[in-house]
Amino acid sequence: MNVADAVNIEDLRLGARRHLPRLLFDWIDGGAGDEQALAESVAQFSAARLMPRYLVDISKRSLTKSLFGRQYSVPFGVAPMGNAGLFRPGADIAMAQAAAKANAPFILSGATIATIEEAGAAAPGHVWLQIYPARDAAITRDFIARAEAAGIETLVVTVDLPLAAKRERDIRNGFGLPLSQDARKIIDVMRHPAWLRDWLRHGGMPKMGAWAAYAGKDASGQQVAQFMVSQFYPPHSWADLDSYRRLWKGKLVVKGLQHPEDARRAMAAGCDGIIVSNHGGRQFDRAPTPLATLPAIKAAVGDELAIMLDGGVRRGADIVVALASGADFVFCGRAILYGVAAGGLAGALRSFEILRDELDRTLGQIGRVTIDELDGEALMK
């Protein structure tokens, strides 16, 4: 796909679908259960209406936004997305570089193909690290130490994965780590020669970079993936969050909270921010949408913490809606991953271009010239 021809994120989504074998595309595109949480997260943004104000001089607009003492050129960044390097070699680094070029933050997934060190070096000052706590607490502590050594300033702890989700597309497709082979998958892969060529050129199953150091010196990509999965879903409590706060000297963000009381507890634990998220509808199908729970979270903690949102964002106008609803910043997952899957670095850059352009146009259409002017008055009640 020539990603320069993409007009919107949906075009990049279709490009990703053409490029990828079905089991990989469905892993990106799908959700848990009946996929209601996924659909509703997107639909709630689509249903929101913004109230324009006219006869306003909008000739000079700015999209800059300050977060954790850093001035970003846009009020959105890249949400953490695992396994990205399966879809396009070097995807994690490409997204980090695209974020750096856009002067935006990039959250490296704990299930990354790139190493923490590689990502930190690729986009200094722009990389945050998200962690999935391991069953072996020593590994979690080492993740935190590696992040600090790599110059990463913000740690994101994801808390909304108490156990494995039931993702029915993945079950039907036989997707799992480590990847397995059967006749149906081989036929599907053969129908996507560009993806297969890249896969073979880079040696097949890549090693999960963040985890390779713990799986054994000579572990293969399949063995590293198997080890990583074996470490998932440990018991996780507020006491663990307290321990991360003691270990981590930088900014600490909790991702996945949706209840106001949990937000208050995170504030009491010394966290610096919350990402209100339903994991993009990939984890719990009966979870509320982040746009629905955002106002109560914001009311619970006020301006004491940075309140961010992730989930359902497909348009620049969605970012405006989230900010007007009380978010201090917005993170986009699939919207960027579709781009990198469709066209590598160029696709990731195009995703940023599309979202930035739509955001800027929407800001002007409703008579605002800065991001900080967005508040509840911009929403049609």
- The residues carrying an active-site annotation are 279
Task: Let me know: does 137 contact 110? Beta carbons within 8 Å.
Answer: no
User: What's the 3-state SS for the chain?
Assistant: CCHHHCCCHHHHHHHHHHHCCHHHHHHHHCCCCCCHHHHHHHHHHHHCCECCCCCCCCCCCECCEEECCEEECCCEEECCCCCHHHCCCCHHHHHHHHHHHCCCCEEECCCCCCCHHHHHHHCCCCEEEEECCCCCHHHHHHHHHHHHHCCCCEEEEECCCCCCCCCHHHHHHCCCCCCCCCHHHHHHHHCCHHHHHHHHHCCCCCCCCCCHHHCCCCCCHHHHHHHHHHCCCCCCCHHHHHHHHHHCCCEEEEECCCCHHHHHHHHHCCCCEEEEECHHHCCCCCCCCHHHHHHHHHHHHCCCCEEEEECCCCCHHHHHHHHHCCCCEEEECHHHHHHHHHHHHHHHHHHHHHHHHHHHHHHHHCCCCEHHHCCHHHECC
| Closest residue by Cα to residue 236 from 107, 309, 134, 115 | 134
d(CA 348, CA 201) in angstroms, rounded, equals: 21
Terminal C-alpha separation, the chain: 41
Tell me if 129 sits within 8 A of 152, measured CB to CB: yes
CB count, 10 Å around CB of 357?
A: 12
